[in-house]
Amino acid sequence: MALHAPPSGRGGYDLRGKCIREPAGYLEDMSAASQETAVGVLLRHWRLRRRRSQLDLALDAGISARHLSFAETGR
């Protein structure tokens, strides 16, 4: 089961969106590339909590759905 970056350094999410706790300071120890991915995970979490599709959010943000997908996956 893969772990994703935690919000606020307190917990993470597995691939099904289930919350998993991580130790304090977790984000501070991550590399720059991992932090970029963490931003994508937080963006995806925000989007899913609000029940918005990538296309819907991308249109509102003025970007392509492909760009949003790449931002969420760290590519």
Q: Which residue has the tokens 């772990």?
A: 3
Domain boundaries of the chain, sorted by first residue: 7-73
Dump pLDDT digits (tens) for 22-73: 555 555 555 655 665 688 899 999 999 999 999 999 999 999 999 999 999 8
As to burial, measured by CB atoms within 10 angstroms (0-12 exposed, 13-18 middle, 19+ buried), residue 32 is exposed
For residue 5, pLDDT over 70 is answered with no
**What is the model's pLDDT at position 38?**
83
Judge whether 11 and 21 are in contact, CB under 8 Å.
yes
Second-level CATH architecture of 7-73 = Orthogonal Bundle (1.10)
pLDDT at 7 over 60: no
Q: Which residues of 33-47 are buried (b: 16+ CB within 10 A; e: fewer)?
A: eeeebbebbbebbeb
